[in-house]
Protein backbone atom coordinates (compact mmCIF):
# COMPACT_ATOMS: atom_id res chain seq x y z
CA UNK A 1 0.00 0.00 0.00
CA UNK A 2 1.40 3.39 -1.00
CA UNK A 3 1.89 6.22 1.49
CA UNK A 4 -1.08 8.12 -0.01
CA UNK A 5 -3.34 5.09 0.31
CA UNK A 6 -2.16 4.45 3.87
CA UNK A 7 -2.96 8.05 4.81
CA UNK A 8 -6.31 7.78 3.08
CA UNK A 9 -7.14 4.50 4.81
CA UNK A 10 -6.21 6.04 8.17
CA UNK A 11 -8.43 9.02 7.43
CA UNK A 12 -11.23 6.61 6.57
CA UNK A 13 -10.81 4.88 9.94
CA UNK A 14 -10.94 8.24 11.71
CA UNK A 15 -14.17 8.90 9.84
CA UNK A 16 -15.53 5.59 11.06
CA UNK A 17 -15.33 3.93 7.65
CA UNK A 18 -14.08 0.45 6.90
CA UNK A 19 -11.16 0.04 4.50
CA UNK A 20 -13.65 -1.43 2.02
CA UNK A 21 -15.84 1.66 2.37
CA UNK A 22 -12.75 3.80 1.84
CA UNK A 23 -12.13 2.00 -1.43
CA UNK A 24 -15.72 2.77 -2.41
CA UNK A 25 -15.00 6.49 -2.09
CA UNK A 26 -13.09 6.24 -5.36
CA UNK A 27 -16.36 5.48 -7.11
CA UNK A 28 -18.59 8.14 -5.57
CA UNK A 29 -20.71 9.75 -8.29
CA UNK A 30 -19.93 13.18 -9.71
CA UNK A 31 -23.19 14.70 -8.36
CA UNK A 32 -22.35 13.41 -4.87
CA UNK A 33 -18.83 14.82 -5.05
CA UNK A 34 -20.14 18.15 -6.36
CA UNK A 35 -22.59 18.34 -3.45
CA UNK A 36 -19.80 17.62 -0.94
CA UNK A 37 -17.61 20.26 -2.62
CA UNK A 38 -20.37 22.87 -2.40
CA UNK A 39 -21.00 22.05 1.26
CA UNK A 40 -17.27 22.12 2.04
CA UNK A 41 -16.95 25.55 0.40
CA UNK A 42 -19.63 26.74 2.84
CA UNK A 43 -17.44 25.66 5.75
CA UNK A 44 -19.20 22.40 6.59
CA UNK A 45 -16.52 20.16 8.07
CA UNK A 46 -18.75 17.10 7.80
CA UNK A 47 -18.51 17.44 4.02
CA UNK A 48 -14.82 18.38 3.80
CA UNK A 49 -13.43 15.20 5.34
CA UNK A 50 -15.27 12.73 3.05
CA UNK A 51 -14.22 14.89 0.12
CA UNK A 52 -10.59 14.76 1.25
CA UNK A 53 -10.84 10.98 1.69
CA UNK A 54 -12.37 10.55 -1.77
CA UNK A 55 -9.53 12.58 -3.29
CA UNK A 56 -6.95 10.50 -1.47
CA UNK A 57 -8.72 7.38 -2.75
CA UNK A 58 -8.18 8.69 -6.28
CA UNK A 59 -11.72 9.77 -7.17
CA UNK A 60 -11.18 12.00 -10.21
CA UNK A 61 -14.05 14.36 -9.46
CA UNK A 62 -12.85 14.78 -5.87
CA UNK A 63 -9.30 15.40 -7.09
CA UNK A 64 -10.68 18.20 -9.26
CA UNK A 65 -12.68 19.70 -6.38
CA UNK A 66 -9.66 19.57 -4.08
CA UNK A 67 -7.44 21.07 -6.78
CA UNK A 68 -9.80 24.00 -7.38
CA UNK A 69 -10.02 24.59 -3.62
CA UNK A 70 -6.23 24.80 -3.35
CA UNK A 71 -5.98 27.13 -6.35
CA UNK A 72 -8.54 29.47 -4.81
CA UNK A 73 -6.36 29.89 -1.70
CA UNK A 74 -3.74 31.80 -3.70
CA UNK A 75 -0.72 30.38 -1.87
CA UNK A 76 2.02 29.48 -4.42
CA UNK A 77 2.73 26.01 -3.05
CA UNK A 78 -0.93 25.18 -2.64
CA UNK A 79 -1.65 26.45 -6.15
CA UNK A 80 1.11 24.23 -7.51
CA UNK A 81 -0.37 21.24 -5.71
CA UNK A 82 -3.81 22.24 -6.98
CA UNK A 83 -2.56 22.15 -10.57
CA UNK A 84 -1.07 18.71 -9.93
CA UNK A 85 -4.39 17.41 -8.62
CA UNK A 86 -6.25 18.84 -11.62
CA UNK A 87 -3.80 17.10 -13.92
CA UNK A 88 -4.27 13.80 -12.10
CA UNK A 89 -8.02 14.15 -12.48
CA UNK A 90 -7.76 15.09 -16.15
CA UNK A 91 -5.52 12.12 -16.89
CA UNK A 92 -8.24 9.90 -15.46
CA UNK A 93 -10.63 11.33 -18.04
CA UNK A 94 -12.28 14.02 -15.91
CA UNK A 95 -13.39 16.38 -18.69
CA UNK A 96 -14.09 19.38 -16.46
CA UNK A 97 -10.57 19.12 -14.99
CA UNK A 98 -9.12 19.15 -18.52
CA UNK A 99 -11.21 22.23 -19.31
CA UNK A 100 -10.09 23.87 -16.06
CA UNK A 101 -6.44 23.29 -16.99
CA UNK A 102 -7.02 24.61 -20.50
CA UNK A 103 -8.56 27.80 -19.13
CA UNK A 104 -5.82 28.25 -16.54
CA UNK A 105 -3.02 27.88 -19.08
CA UNK A 106 -4.90 30.07 -21.58
CA UNK A 107 -5.27 32.97 -19.15
CA UNK A 108 -2.08 32.53 -17.15
CA UNK A 109 -1.80 34.07 -13.68
CA UNK A 110 -0.08 36.95 -11.94
CA UNK A 111 3.04 34.81 -11.51
CA UNK A 112 2.67 32.72 -14.65
CA UNK A 113 2.41 33.74 -18.30
CA UNK A 114 -0.15 32.04 -20.52
CA UNK A 115 1.05 28.78 -22.05
CA UNK A 116 -0.99 28.29 -25.21
CA UNK A 117 0.67 24.99 -26.12
CA UNK A 118 -0.43 23.44 -22.82
CA UNK A 119 -3.79 25.20 -23.08
CA UNK A 120 -4.35 23.58 -26.48
CA UNK A 121 -3.28 20.16 -25.20
CA UNK A 122 -5.74 20.12 -22.31
CA UNK A 123 -8.57 21.78 -24.22
CA UNK A 124 -8.30 19.11 -26.90
CA UNK A 125 -8.87 16.50 -24.19
CA UNK A 126 -12.20 18.14 -23.34
CA UNK A 127 -13.70 18.99 -26.74
CA UNK A 128 -15.67 15.74 -26.98
CA UNK A 129 -18.11 16.83 -24.27
CA UNK A 130 -17.34 20.42 -23.29
CA UNK A 131 -18.31 23.07 -25.89
CA UNK A 132 -16.39 25.72 -23.93
CA UNK A 133 -13.17 23.90 -24.81
CA UNK A 134 -13.94 24.43 -28.50
CA UNK A 135 -14.48 28.13 -27.82
CA UNK A 136 -10.98 28.56 -26.39
CA UNK A 137 -9.46 26.47 -29.17
CA UNK A 138 -11.20 28.77 -31.65
CA UNK A 139 -9.54 31.79 -30.02
CA UNK A 140 -6.14 30.09 -30.19
CA UNK A 141 -6.59 29.29 -33.88
CA UNK A 142 -8.17 32.62 -34.78
CA UNK A 143 -5.49 34.75 -33.11
CA UNK A 144 -2.48 32.56 -33.91
CA UNK A 145 -1.66 32.07 -30.23
CA UNK A 146 0.08 28.73 -30.77
CA UNK A 147 1.44 28.88 -34.29
CA UNK A 148 0.09 30.59 -37.42
CA UNK A 149 -3.53 31.71 -37.37
CA UNK A 150 -5.85 29.15 -38.95
CA UNK A 151 -9.20 30.80 -39.83
CA UNK A 152 -10.70 27.57 -41.16
CA UNK A 153 -10.02 25.56 -38.01
CA UNK A 154 -11.03 28.54 -35.90
CA UNK A 155 -14.42 28.65 -37.60
CA UNK A 156 -14.90 24.89 -37.15
CA UNK A 157 -14.22 25.16 -33.43
CA UNK A 158 -16.37 28.26 -33.12
CA UNK A 159 -19.26 26.42 -34.78
CA UNK A 160 -18.88 23.51 -32.36
CA UNK A 161 -18.93 25.89 -29.42
CA UNK A 162 -21.95 27.73 -30.83
CA UNK A 163 -23.77 24.45 -31.38
CA UNK A 164 -23.12 23.74 -27.70
CA UNK A 165 -24.82 26.96 -26.65
CA UNK A 166 -21.77 29.09 -25.78
CA UNK A 167 -23.11 32.66 -25.98
CA UNK A 168 -19.80 34.34 -26.83
CA UNK A 169 -19.19 31.79 -29.60
CA UNK A 170 -22.62 32.52 -31.06
CA UNK A 171 -21.85 36.24 -30.98
CA UNK A 172 -18.46 35.82 -32.69
CA UNK A 173 -20.00 33.48 -35.27
CA UNK A 174 -22.72 36.03 -35.91
CA UNK A 175 -20.09 38.68 -36.59
CA UNK A 176 -18.25 36.29 -38.90
CA UNK A 177 -21.38 35.81 -41.01
CA UNK A 178 -22.28 39.49 -40.82
CA UNK A 179 -18.92 40.71 -42.12
CA UNK A 180 -17.85 37.71 -44.18
CA UNK A 181 -14.89 36.78 -41.97
CA UNK A 182 -13.73 33.37 -43.19
CA UNK A 183 -17.18 32.57 -44.56
CA UNK A 184 -19.53 33.98 -47.18
CA UNK A 185 -21.49 36.90 -45.82
CA UNK A 186 -24.92 35.72 -44.71
CA UNK A 187 -27.24 38.15 -42.93
CA UNK A 188 -29.83 35.46 -42.15
CA UNK A 189 -27.29 33.28 -40.35
CA UNK A 190 -25.82 36.29 -38.58
CA UNK A 191 -29.28 37.27 -37.37
CA UNK A 192 -29.99 33.72 -36.15
CA UNK A 193 -26.71 33.63 -34.21
CA UNK A 194 -27.35 37.01 -32.59
CA UNK A 195 -30.90 36.02 -31.68
CA UNK A 196 -29.76 32.78 -30.05
CA UNK A 197 -27.00 34.58 -28.14
CA UNK A 198 -29.52 37.23 -27.06
CA UNK A 199 -31.71 34.55 -25.45
CA UNK A 200 -28.62 33.79 -23.32
CA UNK A 201 -28.49 37.49 -22.29
CA UNK A 202 -25.32 38.27 -24.23
CA UNK A 203 -24.93 42.05 -24.12
CA UNK A 204 -23.08 42.33 -27.44
CA UNK A 205 -25.69 40.29 -29.27
CA UNK A 206 -28.54 42.33 -27.76
CA UNK A 207 -26.79 45.52 -28.85
CA UNK A 208 -26.19 44.15 -32.36
CA UNK A 209 -29.88 43.30 -32.66
CA UNK A 210 -30.86 46.74 -31.32
CA UNK A 211 -28.72 48.45 -33.96
CA UNK A 212 -30.07 46.14 -36.67
CA UNK A 213 -33.65 47.07 -35.74
CA UNK A 214 -32.76 50.76 -35.48
CA UNK A 215 -31.12 50.92 -38.92
CA UNK A 216 -33.01 48.21 -40.77
CA UNK A 217 -30.04 45.83 -41.12
CA UNK A 218 -29.68 42.03 -41.33
CA UNK A 219 -32.88 41.82 -43.33
CA UNK A 220 -34.96 43.57 -40.68
CA UNK A 221 -37.27 46.53 -41.18
CA UNK A 222 -36.51 49.64 -39.11
CA UNK A 223 -38.33 49.40 -35.77
CA UNK A 224 -37.45 52.06 -33.20
CA UNK A 225 -39.73 50.53 -30.57
CA UNK A 226 -38.05 47.11 -30.75
CA UNK A 227 -34.63 48.75 -30.90
CA UNK A 228 -35.40 50.66 -27.69
CA UNK A 229 -36.40 47.47 -25.87
CA UNK A 230 -33.24 45.69 -27.01
CA UNK A 231 -30.99 48.63 -26.05
CA UNK A 232 -32.53 48.51 -22.57
CA UNK A 233 -31.96 44.75 -22.31
CA UNK A 234 -28.35 45.22 -23.47
CA UNK A 235 -27.82 47.85 -20.79
CA UNK A 236 -29.20 45.50 -18.13
CA UNK A 237 -27.01 42.64 -19.35
CA UNK A 238 -23.92 44.85 -19.04
CA UNK A 239 -24.61 45.34 -15.34
CA UNK A 240 -23.76 41.71 -14.63
CA UNK A 241 -20.25 40.48 -15.40
CA UNK A 242 -20.37 37.91 -18.22
CA UNK A 243 -19.74 34.35 -17.14
CA UNK A 244 -16.59 32.80 -18.52
CA UNK A 245 -17.38 30.03 -21.04
At 7-39, the pLDDT tens digits run: 554 455 445 555 445 557 778 899 999 999 999
- Judged by average pLDDT, the poorest of 71-80, 138-147, 157-166 is 71-80
Mean pLDDT estimate for the chain: 90
What is the Cα–Cα distance from 17 to 207, expressed in whole angstroms?
A: 57
Q: Give the DSSP H/E element, type plus range, for residue 19.
A: helix 19-25
Report the pLDDT averaged over residues 59-85. 93
What is the Cα–Cα distance from 84 to 76, expressed in whole angstroms?
A: 12
**Burial label, 229 (beta-carbon count in 10 A; 0-12, 13-18, 19+):** middle
Q: Would you place residue 1 in the very low, low, confident or very high pLDDT band (cuts 50, 70, 90)?
A: very low
pTM for the complete prediction? 0.87
What is the Cα–Cα distance from 242 to 132, expressed in whole angstroms?
A: 14
Q: What is the pLDDT of residue 26?
A: 78
Q: Are 211 and 203 in contact (CB under 8 A)?
A: no
45-52 long-range contacts, CB within 8 A, separation 24+? 49/11, 49/15, 50/15, 50/25, 52/11
What is the Cα–Cα distance from 12 to 59, expressed in whole angstroms?
A: 14
Reduced to 3 states (helix: H, G, I; strand: E, B; else coil), residue 26 is coil
Ordered by start, the domain boundaries in the chain are: 1-93
Q: Would you place residue 242 in the very low, low, confident or very high pLDDT band (cuts 50, 70, 90)?
A: confident
Amino acid sequence: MTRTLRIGALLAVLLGLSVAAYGGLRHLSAPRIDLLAMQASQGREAARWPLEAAALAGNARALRARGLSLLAQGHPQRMKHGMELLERAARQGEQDAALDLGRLYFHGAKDRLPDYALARYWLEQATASRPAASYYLALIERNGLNGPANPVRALEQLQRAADGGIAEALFLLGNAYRYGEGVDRDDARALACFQQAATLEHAGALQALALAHAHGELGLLPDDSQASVLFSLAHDALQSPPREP
